[in-house]
Amino acid sequence: MAPPLLSVRDLSVRIRSGESIVHAVNDVSLDVEEGEIVGVVGESGCGKSTMVKAVLRLLAPEAEVPSGSAVLAGSGDLLALDHKRLRQVRGAHVGYVSQNPFGALNPIYRLDRQFHNLVAAHRKGTSRGESRRMAAKMLDAVGIAGPDRVLDGYAHQLSGGMAQRVVIAMSFLLDPRLVIADEPTTGLDVTVQRQILDMVAELARADGRAMLLVTHDLGVVAQYCRRVVVMYAGRVVESGPVADVFTSPRHPYTQALLGAVPRPGQPLERLPGAVPDLRVLSEGCAFAPRCRSAFDACSVRPEPTPGGDGRTVACHLEKEPADAAAR
Amino acid sequence: MPPLVELAGVNKTFRRPGQAPIHALNDISLTMNEGETLALIGESGSGKSTLGRIILRLLEADSGTVRFEGTDLSALPDREMRYLRSRLQAVFQEPYESLDPRLSVGSIVAEPLRVHEPGLSQAELRERVLTCLEQVGLPPDAAGRKPGALSGGQQQRVGIARAIITRPQMIVLDEPTSSLDLSVRAHILELLAELQRELGLTYLFISHDIHTVEYVSSRIAVMYLGRIVETGTVREVFDDPRHPYTRALLSARLSTDPRESPPQLRLTGDIAAPTTSHHGCVLAGRCPLVTAECTAGPVRPRALTGDHEVACVRADETPDLLAPAVSR
Ligand SMILES: Nc1ncnc2c1ncn2[C@@H]1O[C@H](COP(=O)(O)OP(=O)(O)OP(=O)(O)O)[C@@H](O)[C@H]1O
Ligand SMILES: Nc1ncnc2c1ncn2[C@@H]1O[C@H](COP(=O)(O)OP(=O)(O)O)[C@@H](O)[C@H]1O
Ligand SMILES: [Mg+2]
Ligand SMILES: [Mg+2]
């Protein structure tokens, strides 16, 4: 079997914040295979963006990565690459759609120039006309009518959803094998969202391209992702094929997450209890204080345990379901 | 009593030297009543945020009128305009864009108070800020942090805290919950509903999240390419959508059950650019029901039953002609 396109192992990130240290990402492992879209879901603040930025080496200076690797097939461990090589890989082999599209665009250059700079950095000697054609084609693919008016303009002239699409177009411009996208479609209406996801799905199906997709939209995960990674308090608590995880979630957090999907006419479900404080590295299961099924074993942290069916769950109930149910 | 906000025939075109003008809003008429939540949904780039900014007086309309409690705003003297600004607040789409990264969360939230209630003492200011942070579910120590040290969801809460601190009459919420997970989103929506009940707030709620819109709003306006194509109560629009664009939009909702994928009504054909002016219906180039009448002249909203208004010459036939039926 071919090795995964992206293989993240035991990745941790700590962020210095004043007097304290935020344990934003803890021992995260995940794989993305060729031709698949993998969803990453979890509470706001659970470390999704930090994890993604660590893989792409885009963390703020106050953050450090004490352990872990992120191997991109054919490019090596992204976390160990020197800067020159990193610049070659980023953009050309792995694309990135940041959560904040305006932050990713330069406010003072016209957009055609930004597209050109991106292409020229990786393909020396590309003419402006050539990069403009590439950009226009990509903008068209993400549903922007009249790409010229966008290319001849500036970022602040775009609507939120258009800026998001420009960044998506940039991330796909050089045909990278993997795109890591952090909530790329939150600002898009559902018809445009589907157009873009259909495009990504087609690239995955036909050309083996892959995407790691951070999203709060469980509908997107259900309909477009092959596998899903569920994070809580900086850790992966459950992962596996979407078809299985979404129909029979095993981790109590995953169950609560899926239970919060709004049903018309019913009050919105909320997870009771406080959002975990990532400044303390809990010895037990971080979800235990909010978990309906917590029992004494939960004072020791459960390890992510592969079940053989492609699913991994980090919960003591997995080992002693009968036992726990009896309590 | 006049409606709280009344727009009539509002147009807005962005002009850039040497380039085609962008027709962002065309002939927009809309009313909002005190205490209601009007949701604005629709195509990305259709002019929703622009409309919000015009109501907030952050942008000037090219033509048409914007009335607040019956007063034409363009005629207001500066001092009254400033007072009005404190009654109108906003939570924007991009928290990162709207929060100054150099200021602490406490100063960001206090800022509107400093402007609009300059008489407050430091202690009073602090008190109001802390109460406000608690209201939006942020820990008290958030006051001393910089926005960069908060996750996207937490930043959005800061934006909401800043908007409610002056106790405004109306808030334009431009995708306030789109970066929040479902559970946090539910908390925020509940908070917004609570504030609305207590203070009689009026919300213009701009969102792409149809589930959220269905939950929070009393009325809905659907936009496509600079126009309002359909308005009505939530039930009128969601249970019986009559504009083909509304039907396409609602049918594109994704099910969270991987086993089911309800049929989608897809609009084919090229999406028109906002640089072109339209003589007839803005959807004509992509509409499956298009007839000669659609491009013959302007298609204005017309009333169906109740509050339901649709800008489509074939609104009466839409449900029969357009599968899939999208009401639940
Ligand atoms: N300052 C500006 N200069 C030029 N064009 C602008 C400016 N602001 C907005 N536009 C254009 O006006 C149109 C409407 O933009 P607006 O931000 O109102 O859309 P929107 O409905 O909020 O979209 P989204 O759902 O993507 O946020 C877009 O075509 C946009 O590019
Ligand atoms: N620069 C920073 N300084 C301090 N804390 C940070 C910084 N960036 C992120 N954090 C913290 O790390 C945690 C994870 O944040 P983030 O990765 O943005 O979450 P998500 O993307 O899942 O919403 C949060 O508790 C956040 O407050
Ligand atoms: Mg994030
Ligand atoms: Mg907008």
Contact yes or no for B145 and A18 at CB 8 A: yes
Residues in CB range of A248: below 8 A, 6 or more apart: none
Contact yes or no for B186 and A102 at CB 8 A: no
What per-residue confidence (pLDDT) applies to B180? 81
Work out the average pLDDT over A312-316: 96
Distance between CA atoms of A324 and A296, rounded to whole angstroms? 9
Q: What is the dihedral of CA A89, A91, A94, A100, to 10 degrees?
A: 130
pLDDT tens across A53-109, in order? 999 999 999 999 999 999 999 999 999 999 999 999 998 999 999 988 888 999 999
Q: What is the pTM of this model?
A: 0.91
What per-residue confidence (pLDDT) applies to A321? 53
Contact yes or no for B179 and A222 at CB 8 A: no
Q: Which two tokens stand for residue B262?
A: 């309800």
Q: Given ligand 2 and candidates A11, A17, A53, A232, which is best to mutate, with the most ligand atoms within 8 Å of its CB?
A: A17
pLDDT tens across B71-98, in order? 887 777 777 877 787 889 998 766 666 7
Are B234 and B216 contacting, i.e. CB atoms less than 8 angstroms apart? no
How far, rounded to the nearest angstrom, does the alpha carbon of residue A51 sit from its chain's CA centroid?
8
| B175 in contact with chain A, both atoms CB, cutoff 8 A | yes
Protein residues with CB under 6 Å of any ligand 1 atom: A 156-162, 187; B 14, 22, 24, 44-50, 93, 274
CA dihedral over A77, A82, A85, A91, signed as positive or negative: positive
Beta-strand pair A94-97/B219-224 = unpaired
Are A164 and A101 contacting, i.e. CB atoms less than 8 angstroms apart? yes
Between chain A and chain B, the number of residue pairs with CB atoms below 8 A apart is 177
User: Which amino acid would we find at residue A244?
Assistant: D
Distance between CA atoms of B284 and B282, rounded to whole angstroms? 6
Contact yes or no for B179 and A216 at CB 8 A: yes
**Number of the ligand 1 atom closest to the C-alpha atom of B52:** 18
- Give SS3 for A135: helix
Residue B154 CA, ligand 2 centroid: distance in Å: 9
- Does position A232 have pLDDT exceeding 90, yes or no? yes
Q: What are the structural domain ranges in chain B?
A: 95-167
Strand ranges of the sheet holding B5-14, from the earlier edge strand across to the other edge: B22-32, B5-14, B63-68, B71-72
What residue's CA is closest to ligand 2, atom 16? Answer: A47
Interface TM-score (ipTM) > 0.85: yes
A107-111, A214-218, B66-70: range with lowest mean pLDDT: B66-70
